[in-house]
Amino acid sequence: MSPPDDNASHILLVDDDARIRDLLSRVLMENSYRVTTAANAAEARKYLSGLSFDLIILDIMMPGETGLEFAVWLRQQSTVPVLMLTARSDALDRIAGLEAGADDYLAKPFEPRELMLRISAILRRGGPKRTELLGDVRFGPFVFNPVRGELKNDDQIVRLTDREKQILGIFAEQPGATVPRHKIVSDESGLGERTVDVQINRLRRKIEIDPGNPIYLQTVRGIGYRLVCD
């Protein structure tokens, strides 16, 4: 097997199980990804301090600092996409992972093909968007530039995850219009409409004074959401 190209997407795999690290590393490299592995959160931090990654695959149930705790820390430092792996498949655990900042969630055991599809879907979200003709979207003190995926509150940049940039980009395509939930759902990643609600609530915490009574990102009952623009 030839080594991946230097321009291939670089994935950080964080899992305390050496067998899983070895297995997934082989699968990822066979699919032309560059891979760095870490056995725990502390080792992952060491790599993050000196390397740039396109995606982090993160196990939740690690001893010491859990994947959830690490994801919360990571979201304060970076917007790199996170795919969480766990033996738990309960809906509440999945929601907890998404609220911690994960972009997607995959329960063990899983087929390698499903993992590859989810990775591909996440990386496509961060790739080039057809937004060249879209202008800035303004709402209250916020300005969202869909080309750069950049949100500013006055002159201060608001840190967004790739998934949050994607969601705002969907609203930017039709400012002020109601967007159905199914349009926000990413079919490739297998996410459901309940997951979209969690991600909308996470985004509201960054743009609303009172996320429970949103002014800008409003719910249209029974249909979806709309971004109230200036």
Q: What is the pLDDT of residues 104-137, one digit of tens each?
A: 888 888 888 899 999 988 888 765 444 444 578 9
The CATH number assigned to the domain holding 107 equals 3.40.50.2300
pLDDT score, position 8: 83
Boundaries of domain holding 220 = 137-227
Q: Are residues 95 and 167 in the same domain?
A: no
Domain tally, the chain: 2
pLDDT score, position 12: 97
pLDDT score, position 197: 86
Higher-pLDDT residue of 192 and 140 is: 140
Q: What is the pLDDT of residues 162-182, one digit of tens each?
A: 889 889 988 888 788 888 877
pLDDT score, position 159: 92
Mean pLDDT of 145-159: 90
- DSSP codes of every residue in the chain: -PPPPTTS-EEEEE-S-HHHHHHHHHHHHHTT-EEEEESSHHHHHHHHTT---SEEEEES--SSS-HHHHHHHHHTT----EEEEES---HHHHHHHHHTT-SEEEESS--HHHHHHHHHHHHHHTS--S-TT---EEETTEEEETTTTEEEETTEEEP--HHHHHHHHHHHTSTTSEEEHHHHS-GGGT--HHHHHHHHHHHHHHH-SSTTS-SSEEEETTTEEEE---
Structural domain includes residue 132: no
Q: What is the pLDDT of residues 18-50, one digit of tens each?
A: 999 999 999 999 999 999 999 999 999 999 988
For the chain, the average pLDDT equals: 85
Query: Residue 92 pLDDT more than 50?
Result: yes
Q: Which of 64, 93, 125 is the last residue of a domain?
A: 125
- Per-residue pLDDT band for 11 (boundaries 50, 70, 90) equals very high
pLDDT score, position 227: 93
Q: Are residues 156 and 76 in the same domain?
A: no
pLDDT score, position 190: 45
pLDDT score, position 146: 85
